Amino acid sequence: MEYCLKCLTTNLRPNALFIDGVCIACRFSENRTQNGDNFDLKLKTLRNEIRKVLASSRKKFGKTAYDCIVGVSGGKDSTRQAHWVRDRLGLRPLLVCVAYPPIQMSEIGAMNLSNLVDMGFDLVTCTPAPQTSAALTLEGFKDFGNVSKATELALFSTVPRVAIEMRIPLIFWGENPAVQVGDSAVEGKNDFDGNNLRSLNTLTDGVDSWLSNFKKLGLDTSHYEYPSEQQFELKGVQIMYLGPAWDDWSNLDNAFYASLGGLVLRPNEEDITGDISNASMLDEEFTNINMMLKYFKYGFGRATDICNENIRLGKITREKAVDIVTKYDGLCDESIISRFCKYVGITMEEFWKITHKWVNLSLFEIPSNGGRPVPKFHVGKNYEN
Protein backbone atom coordinates (compact mmCIF):
# COMPACT_ATOMS: atom_id res chain seq x y z
CA MET A 1 0.00 0.00 0.00
CA GLU A 2 1.43 3.36 -1.08
CA TYR A 3 0.33 6.71 0.32
CA CYS A 4 0.10 10.02 -1.52
CA LEU A 5 3.02 12.26 -0.54
CA LYS A 6 0.67 15.15 0.27
CA CYS A 7 -2.37 13.53 1.90
CA LEU A 8 -3.47 10.09 3.15
CA THR A 9 -5.01 8.80 -0.08
CA THR A 10 -3.64 5.36 -0.94
CA ASN A 11 -3.10 3.64 -4.26
CA LEU A 12 -5.75 1.10 -3.16
CA ARG A 13 -8.55 3.64 -3.66
CA PRO A 14 -10.56 2.39 -6.67
CA ASN A 15 -9.33 4.18 -9.83
CA ALA A 16 -6.63 6.05 -7.91
CA LEU A 17 -3.96 7.68 -10.07
CA PHE A 18 -0.66 8.96 -8.67
CA ILE A 19 1.70 11.18 -10.68
CA ASP A 20 5.14 11.55 -9.12
CA GLY A 21 3.68 10.19 -5.89
CA VAL A 22 0.81 12.71 -5.70
CA CYS A 23 -2.89 11.85 -6.14
CA ILE A 24 -5.27 13.57 -8.59
CA ALA A 25 -7.16 15.46 -5.88
CA CYS A 26 -3.99 16.93 -4.35
CA ARG A 27 -2.69 17.96 -7.77
CA PHE A 28 -6.02 19.67 -8.49
CA SER A 29 -5.85 21.45 -5.12
CA GLU A 30 -2.22 22.50 -5.67
CA ASN A 31 -3.03 23.91 -9.10
CA ARG A 32 -5.81 25.97 -7.53
CA THR A 33 -3.45 27.37 -4.92
CA GLN A 34 -0.49 28.03 -7.20
CA ASN A 35 -2.52 29.55 -10.02
CA GLY A 36 -4.76 31.63 -7.77
CA ASP A 37 -7.93 29.86 -8.85
CA ASN A 38 -10.36 32.45 -10.21
CA PHE A 39 -13.77 31.35 -8.94
CA ASP A 40 -15.50 34.33 -10.54
CA LEU A 41 -14.24 33.07 -13.90
CA LYS A 42 -15.23 29.49 -13.06
CA LEU A 43 -18.70 30.61 -12.06
CA LYS A 44 -18.99 32.57 -15.32
CA THR A 45 -17.90 29.48 -17.24
CA LEU A 46 -20.45 27.34 -15.40
CA ARG A 47 -23.22 29.85 -16.13
CA ASN A 48 -22.29 29.82 -19.83
CA GLU A 49 -22.40 26.01 -19.90
CA ILE A 50 -25.81 26.07 -18.21
CA ARG A 51 -27.18 28.62 -20.68
CA LYS A 52 -26.08 26.47 -23.62
CA VAL A 53 -27.81 23.37 -22.22
CA LEU A 54 -31.03 25.23 -21.39
CA ALA A 55 -31.14 27.00 -24.75
CA SER A 56 -30.63 23.74 -26.64
CA SER A 57 -33.29 21.96 -24.57
CA ARG A 58 -35.87 24.73 -24.97
CA LYS A 59 -35.29 24.82 -28.72
CA LYS A 60 -36.02 21.10 -28.99
CA PHE A 61 -38.65 20.52 -26.30
CA GLY A 62 -39.93 23.93 -25.22
CA LYS A 63 -39.76 25.42 -21.72
CA THR A 64 -40.25 23.00 -18.85
CA ALA A 65 -41.59 23.65 -15.35
CA TYR A 66 -38.11 23.19 -13.89
CA ASP A 67 -34.65 24.11 -15.19
CA CYS A 68 -32.84 21.39 -13.33
CA ILE A 69 -32.86 18.65 -10.72
CA VAL A 70 -30.82 18.61 -7.54
CA GLY A 71 -30.58 15.20 -5.89
CA VAL A 72 -31.05 15.60 -2.14
CA SER A 73 -30.87 13.41 0.94
CA GLY A 74 -31.58 15.94 3.65
CA GLY A 75 -27.88 16.19 4.43
CA LYS A 76 -25.53 19.16 4.58
CA ASP A 77 -24.23 19.03 0.99
CA SER A 78 -27.56 18.64 -0.78
CA THR A 79 -29.19 21.31 1.39
CA ARG A 80 -26.54 23.83 0.45
CA GLN A 81 -26.57 22.77 -3.21
CA ALA A 82 -30.32 23.38 -3.41
CA HIS A 83 -29.87 26.92 -2.10
CA TRP A 84 -26.87 27.62 -4.33
CA VAL A 85 -28.68 26.52 -7.48
CA ARG A 86 -31.80 28.52 -6.69
CA ASP A 87 -30.34 31.62 -5.05
CA ARG A 88 -26.89 31.94 -6.67
CA LEU A 89 -27.55 30.57 -10.14
CA GLY A 90 -31.14 31.84 -10.31
CA LEU A 91 -32.55 28.53 -11.58
CA ARG A 92 -35.83 26.74 -10.86
CA PRO A 93 -34.76 23.41 -9.31
CA LEU A 94 -36.84 20.35 -8.58
CA LEU A 95 -35.41 18.46 -5.63
CA VAL A 96 -35.46 14.68 -5.96
CA CYS A 97 -34.89 12.46 -2.96
CA VAL A 98 -34.49 8.70 -3.18
CA ALA A 99 -35.54 8.07 0.39
CA TYR A 100 -34.63 5.12 2.56
CA PRO A 101 -37.34 2.71 3.68
CA PRO A 102 -38.96 3.73 7.01
CA ILE A 103 -36.97 1.21 9.06
CA GLN A 104 -33.71 2.57 7.69
CA MET A 105 -34.37 6.32 7.56
CA SER A 106 -33.50 8.29 10.67
CA GLU A 107 -35.83 10.77 12.33
CA ILE A 108 -33.21 13.46 11.71
CA GLY A 109 -33.25 12.63 8.00
CA ALA A 110 -37.03 13.03 7.81
CA MET A 111 -36.84 16.35 9.69
CA ASN A 112 -34.20 17.70 7.31
CA LEU A 113 -36.25 16.79 4.24
CA SER A 114 -39.24 18.59 5.74
CA ASN A 115 -36.98 21.58 6.36
CA LEU A 116 -36.20 21.79 2.62
CA VAL A 117 -39.92 21.94 1.82
CA ASP A 118 -40.35 24.65 4.45
CA MET A 119 -37.64 26.61 2.63
CA GLY A 120 -39.86 26.80 -0.44
CA PHE A 121 -38.49 23.99 -2.61
CA ASP A 122 -40.57 21.52 -4.61
CA LEU A 123 -39.58 18.00 -3.58
CA VAL A 124 -40.26 14.63 -5.18
CA THR A 125 -39.54 11.63 -2.98
CA CYS A 126 -39.07 8.16 -4.45
CA THR A 127 -38.86 5.18 -2.12
CA PRO A 128 -38.00 1.72 -3.47
CA ALA A 129 -40.14 -1.12 -2.10
CA PRO A 130 -38.87 -1.81 1.46
CA GLN A 131 -38.82 -5.62 1.06
CA THR A 132 -36.88 -5.38 -2.21
CA SER A 133 -34.53 -2.83 -0.70
CA ALA A 134 -33.80 -5.03 2.34
CA ALA A 135 -33.23 -8.09 0.12
CA LEU A 136 -30.87 -6.21 -2.22
CA THR A 137 -29.06 -4.70 0.76
CA LEU A 138 -28.28 -8.14 2.15
CA GLU A 139 -27.24 -9.49 -1.25
CA GLY A 140 -25.07 -6.43 -1.86
CA PHE A 141 -23.35 -7.12 1.44
CA LYS A 142 -22.76 -10.76 0.48
CA ASP A 143 -21.80 -10.21 -3.17
CA PHE A 144 -19.84 -6.93 -2.98
CA GLY A 145 -19.04 -6.37 0.69
CA ASN A 146 -21.16 -3.24 0.35
CA VAL A 147 -24.30 -2.70 2.42
CA SER A 148 -25.06 0.48 0.45
CA LYS A 149 -24.83 -1.03 -3.03
CA ALA A 150 -28.60 -1.04 -3.57
CA THR A 151 -29.23 2.41 -2.08
CA GLU A 152 -26.36 3.95 -4.08
CA LEU A 153 -27.68 2.40 -7.28
CA ALA A 154 -31.18 3.69 -6.52
CA LEU A 155 -29.87 7.20 -5.81
CA PHE A 156 -27.70 7.56 -8.91
CA SER A 157 -30.23 5.87 -11.20
CA THR A 158 -33.55 7.32 -10.09
CA VAL A 159 -32.53 10.98 -10.33
CA PRO A 160 -31.71 10.78 -14.07
CA ARG A 161 -34.78 8.59 -14.64
CA VAL A 162 -36.95 11.40 -13.25
CA ALA A 163 -35.08 13.98 -15.36
CA ILE A 164 -35.59 11.93 -18.52
CA GLU A 165 -39.25 11.26 -17.79
CA MET A 166 -39.99 14.93 -17.05
CA ARG A 167 -37.64 16.27 -19.75
CA ILE A 168 -35.70 18.33 -17.23
CA PRO A 169 -32.44 19.12 -19.05
CA LEU A 170 -29.94 19.46 -16.20
CA ILE A 171 -28.90 17.39 -13.20
CA PHE A 172 -26.60 18.91 -10.60
CA TRP A 173 -24.39 16.91 -8.27
CA GLY A 174 -21.95 18.45 -5.79
CA GLU A 175 -18.31 17.45 -5.78
CA ASN A 176 -16.54 16.10 -8.85
CA PRO A 177 -15.32 12.60 -7.83
CA ALA A 178 -12.36 12.85 -10.21
CA VAL A 179 -10.73 16.16 -9.35
CA GLN A 180 -12.01 16.57 -5.78
CA VAL A 181 -11.73 12.97 -4.53
CA GLY A 182 -9.41 11.21 -6.98
CA ASP A 183 -11.54 8.79 -9.05
CA SER A 184 -9.93 8.98 -12.50
CA ALA A 185 -12.61 6.80 -14.14
CA VAL A 186 -15.22 9.58 -14.13
CA GLU A 187 -13.13 12.42 -15.55
CA GLY A 188 -15.12 14.46 -18.05
CA LYS A 189 -14.33 17.03 -20.74
CA ASN A 190 -13.93 19.74 -18.08
CA ASP A 191 -14.24 20.17 -14.32
CA PHE A 192 -18.04 20.62 -14.53
CA ASP A 193 -18.80 17.73 -16.88
CA GLY A 194 -20.57 14.91 -15.03
CA ASN A 195 -21.79 12.93 -18.02
CA ASN A 196 -19.18 10.24 -17.39
CA LEU A 197 -20.69 9.49 -13.98
CA ARG A 198 -21.89 6.17 -15.42
CA SER A 199 -18.25 5.00 -15.12
CA LEU A 200 -18.35 5.33 -11.33
CA ASN A 201 -17.25 2.09 -9.69
CA THR A 202 -20.59 1.83 -7.85
CA LEU A 203 -22.46 1.74 -11.18
CA THR A 204 -20.11 -0.53 -13.11
CA ASP A 205 -18.85 -3.20 -10.71
CA GLY A 206 -20.84 -6.24 -11.86
CA VAL A 207 -24.13 -4.37 -11.67
CA ASP A 208 -25.80 -5.58 -14.89
CA SER A 209 -25.37 -9.29 -14.22
CA TRP A 210 -26.19 -8.79 -10.54
CA LEU A 211 -29.51 -7.06 -11.22
CA SER A 212 -30.44 -9.55 -13.96
CA ASN A 213 -30.47 -12.31 -11.34
CA PHE A 214 -33.10 -10.44 -9.36
CA LYS A 215 -35.17 -9.79 -12.45
CA LYS A 216 -35.37 -13.55 -12.96
CA LEU A 217 -36.87 -13.79 -9.47
CA GLY A 218 -39.60 -11.35 -10.48
CA LEU A 219 -38.28 -8.37 -8.49
CA ASP A 220 -38.74 -4.89 -9.94
CA THR A 221 -35.23 -3.48 -10.32
CA SER A 222 -36.08 -0.38 -12.37
CA HIS A 223 -35.19 1.96 -9.49
CA TYR A 224 -31.67 0.54 -9.58
CA GLU A 225 -30.93 0.65 -13.33
CA TYR A 226 -28.92 3.60 -14.65
CA PRO A 227 -30.35 5.01 -17.91
CA SER A 228 -28.44 4.38 -21.14
CA GLU A 229 -26.47 7.05 -23.00
CA GLN A 230 -29.13 6.88 -25.72
CA GLN A 231 -31.88 7.73 -23.20
CA PHE A 232 -29.88 10.74 -22.00
CA GLU A 233 -29.26 11.93 -25.57
CA LEU A 234 -32.86 11.42 -26.67
CA LYS A 235 -34.15 13.81 -23.99
CA GLY A 236 -31.10 16.08 -24.01
CA VAL A 237 -30.27 15.55 -20.32
CA GLN A 238 -26.84 16.69 -19.09
CA ILE A 239 -25.06 16.28 -15.73
CA MET A 240 -22.90 18.99 -14.15
CA TYR A 241 -20.85 19.26 -10.95
CA LEU A 242 -21.10 22.38 -8.80
CA GLY A 243 -18.08 21.79 -6.54
CA PRO A 244 -15.33 23.02 -8.90
CA ALA A 245 -16.98 26.47 -9.17
CA TRP A 246 -17.57 26.77 -5.43
CA ASP A 247 -14.92 28.76 -3.60
CA ASP A 248 -15.69 27.35 -0.14
CA TRP A 249 -16.88 23.83 -0.94
CA SER A 250 -16.00 21.60 2.02
CA ASN A 251 -17.70 19.30 4.53
CA LEU A 252 -17.20 21.86 7.29
CA ASP A 253 -18.46 24.88 5.33
CA ASN A 254 -21.46 23.00 3.96
CA ALA A 255 -22.42 21.76 7.41
CA PHE A 256 -22.08 25.26 8.90
CA TYR A 257 -24.18 26.87 6.17
CA ALA A 258 -26.89 24.18 6.21
CA SER A 259 -27.17 24.17 10.00
CA LEU A 260 -27.83 27.91 9.98
CA GLY A 261 -30.76 27.12 7.69
CA GLY A 262 -32.26 24.62 10.11
CA LEU A 263 -30.36 21.41 9.28
CA VAL A 264 -30.18 19.09 12.29
CA LEU A 265 -26.73 17.60 12.94
CA ARG A 266 -25.49 14.69 15.08
CA PRO A 267 -22.99 16.12 17.55
CA ASN A 268 -20.59 14.12 19.72
CA GLU A 269 -21.05 10.78 17.93
CA GLU A 270 -17.53 10.33 16.54
CA ASP A 271 -16.79 7.48 18.99
CA ILE A 272 -19.95 5.69 17.76
CA THR A 273 -19.77 6.29 14.00
CA GLY A 274 -16.20 7.39 13.39
CA ASP A 275 -17.62 10.57 11.82
CA ILE A 276 -15.30 13.34 13.01
CA SER A 277 -17.43 15.96 11.23
CA ASN A 278 -20.65 15.06 13.14
CA ALA A 279 -22.45 15.99 9.92
CA SER A 280 -22.28 12.93 7.67
CA MET A 281 -24.94 10.26 7.13
CA LEU A 282 -27.63 12.29 8.86
CA ASP A 283 -30.44 10.47 7.06
CA GLU A 284 -29.59 6.91 8.13
CA GLU A 285 -26.99 4.89 10.05
CA PHE A 286 -26.18 1.82 7.95
CA THR A 287 -23.74 3.71 5.72
CA ASN A 288 -21.50 3.82 8.78
CA ILE A 289 -21.14 0.07 8.34
CA ASN A 290 -20.09 0.65 4.76
CA MET A 291 -17.38 3.06 5.87
CA MET A 292 -16.06 0.33 8.17
CA LEU A 293 -16.16 -2.23 5.35
CA LYS A 294 -14.32 0.19 3.04
CA TYR A 295 -11.62 0.43 5.69
CA PHE A 296 -11.27 -3.35 5.89
CA LYS A 297 -11.10 -3.67 2.09
CA TYR A 298 -8.86 -0.74 1.17
CA GLY A 299 -7.15 0.40 4.35
CA PHE A 300 -8.92 3.77 4.57
CA GLY A 301 -12.33 4.99 5.71
CA ARG A 302 -14.38 8.13 6.26
CA ALA A 303 -11.92 9.80 8.66
CA THR A 304 -9.30 9.56 5.91
CA ASP A 305 -11.58 11.23 3.37
CA ILE A 306 -12.45 14.07 5.76
CA CYS A 307 -8.84 14.58 6.81
CA ASN A 308 -7.64 14.57 3.19
CA GLU A 309 -10.01 17.43 2.41
CA ASN A 310 -8.79 19.38 5.44
CA ILE A 311 -5.14 18.78 4.50
CA ARG A 312 -5.78 20.23 1.05
CA LEU A 313 -7.58 23.21 2.59
CA GLY A 314 -4.61 23.81 4.89
CA LYS A 315 -6.70 23.28 8.03
CA ILE A 316 -4.57 20.43 9.42
CA THR A 317 -1.14 18.95 8.75
CA ARG A 318 -0.59 15.48 7.35
CA GLU A 319 1.03 14.52 10.67
CA LYS A 320 -2.03 15.58 12.68
CA ALA A 321 -4.28 13.76 10.22
CA VAL A 322 -2.34 10.54 10.84
CA ASP A 323 -3.29 10.66 14.54
CA ILE A 324 -6.96 11.36 13.78
CA VAL A 325 -7.25 8.66 11.13
CA THR A 326 -5.51 6.10 13.34
CA LYS A 327 -8.09 6.75 16.06
CA TYR A 328 -11.31 6.98 14.03
CA ASP A 329 -11.02 5.11 10.72
CA GLY A 330 -13.12 1.95 10.72
CA LEU A 331 -15.14 2.77 13.84
CA CYS A 332 -18.76 1.60 13.88
CA ASP A 333 -20.59 0.85 17.10
CA GLU A 334 -22.05 -2.61 17.72
CA SER A 335 -25.48 -1.03 18.22
CA ILE A 336 -25.55 0.10 14.58
CA ILE A 337 -24.46 -3.33 13.38
CA SER A 338 -27.14 -4.94 15.53
CA ARG A 339 -29.88 -2.78 13.98
CA PHE A 340 -28.63 -3.61 10.52
CA CYS A 341 -28.67 -7.34 11.24
CA LYS A 342 -32.28 -7.09 12.42
CA TYR A 343 -33.19 -5.14 9.24
CA VAL A 344 -31.77 -7.72 6.82
CA GLY A 345 -32.52 -10.79 8.97
CA ILE A 346 -29.11 -12.15 9.96
CA THR A 347 -27.28 -12.73 13.25
CA MET A 348 -24.23 -10.81 14.46
CA GLU A 349 -22.20 -14.00 13.97
CA GLU A 350 -23.34 -14.17 10.34
CA PHE A 351 -22.51 -10.48 9.91
CA TRP A 352 -18.88 -10.96 10.92
CA LYS A 353 -18.60 -14.15 8.90
CA ILE A 354 -19.65 -12.27 5.75
CA THR A 355 -17.44 -9.30 6.66
CA HIS A 356 -14.38 -11.51 7.00
CA LYS A 357 -14.80 -12.63 3.37
CA TRP A 358 -14.10 -9.04 2.28
CA VAL A 359 -11.19 -8.22 4.56
CA ASN A 360 -7.91 -7.45 2.79
CA LEU A 361 -5.70 -10.01 4.53
CA SER A 362 -2.59 -8.25 3.27
CA LEU A 363 -3.54 -5.30 5.44
CA PHE A 364 -5.50 -6.84 8.33
CA GLU A 365 -5.36 -9.85 10.61
CA ILE A 366 -8.57 -11.58 11.68
CA PRO A 367 -8.49 -12.57 15.38
CA SER A 368 -8.75 -16.28 16.08
CA ASN A 369 -12.02 -15.73 17.96
CA GLY A 370 -13.55 -13.74 15.06
CA GLY A 371 -14.74 -10.16 15.38
CA ARG A 372 -13.06 -7.00 14.20
CA PRO A 373 -9.94 -7.31 12.06
CA VAL A 374 -6.74 -5.70 13.34
CA PRO A 375 -4.57 -3.54 11.02
CA LYS A 376 -1.03 -4.64 10.24
CA PHE A 377 -0.09 -1.27 8.74
CA HIS A 378 0.57 2.15 10.23
CA VAL A 379 -1.37 5.09 8.79
CA GLY A 380 0.69 7.32 6.53
CA LYS A 381 3.54 4.84 6.06
CA ASN A 382 3.86 2.82 2.88
CA TYR A 383 3.28 -0.84 3.68
CA GLU A 384 4.35 -4.05 1.98
CA ASN A 385 3.15 -7.33 3.46
Q: Which of 126, 116, 239 is nearest to 174 (CA)?
A: 239
Query: Model pTM?
Result: 0.79
Q: How many domains does the chain have?
A: 2
140: helix, coil or strand? helix
Mean pLDDT by 10 residues, the chain (385 residues): 95 90 88 66 88 91 92 80 91 90 72 85 88 88 91 89 94 78 74 86 80 79 88 93 76 67 67 75 80 95 92 93 96 93 94 96 92 94 90
Contact status, residue 193 vs residue 240, Cβ threshold 8 Å: yes
Residues 170 and 109 in one domain: yes
Query: Residue 34: inside a domain, yes or no?
Result: no
**How high is the pLDDT of residue 194?**
87
Range of the domain at 336: 266-375
H-type alpha helices, 62-148: 76-83, 107-118, 130-144
In this structure, the answer to whether residues 291 and 222 fall within a common structural domain is no
> Are 128 and 276 contained in the same domain?
no
Q: How far is CA 311 from the centre of its chain?
A: 20
d(CA 278, CA 306): 11
In a domain, 256, yes or no: no
Task: Please check whether residues 229 and 332 belong to one and the same domain.
Answer: no
Whether 299 maps to a domain, the answer reads: yes
Residue 133 resides in a domain: yes
| pLDDT score, position 228 | 92
For residue 75, the model assigns a pLDDT of 73
Characterise 8 by phi-psi region: left (phi > 0), alpha (psi -120 to 50), beta (else): alpha
